[in-house]
Amino acid sequence: MPSDANPSIPAEVTLTLLLEGGQQHTLKIASNNRLLQQLFESIVNRTEKRPQHVFQIPINEGKGVLCFPGERLVGIISEPPLIVQQPNQQQAGQTPAATVGGTDPLAPGA
C-alpha cells in the first residue's frame, strides 16, 4: 500500500470506479486509505472462493454513500497512474511493472 514515507506517491489519488453496466463514479481518496488497496484487490483477486464484499464509500462530503458489490467493479482509472503488481507475475518469472520498496503491490505509474 502506498505510504506517506515515499515522496513519489501523492497524498491523494483521484479514482474513477468503472462498474458493470457502464456506470462510473469519480472520487478522491487518500493514498494511505485501506479502501484504495481493497478496491484494487477486488479487481485482481477474481476467484469463486473469494468472499463477497460490499463497498460502502462516502461521497459528496459524507452526504451520501456509493454502495455496490465488489464483483460489479470492472475497472479503476487512477490519477496519477498506479500500477498493480500481480502475485502471479513473480511466480511466472516476469518482472513486475513497478513496485514500491520491493513489497508494495501499488506503485505510481511510469
Say how many Å lie between the first and final Cα of the chain, rounded. 17
Segment 65-97, tens digit of pLDDT: 999 999 999 999 999 998 877 666 555 544 444
Displacement of CA 71 from its chain's centroid (Å): 14
| DSSP-based three-state secondary structure for 42 | helix
Summarised one tens digit per residue, pLDDT across range 23-41 is 999 999 999 999 999 999 8
Rounded Cα distance between 31 and 64, Å, is 21
Q: pTM for the complete prediction?
A: 0.69
CB–CB of 18/24 below 8 Å?
A: yes
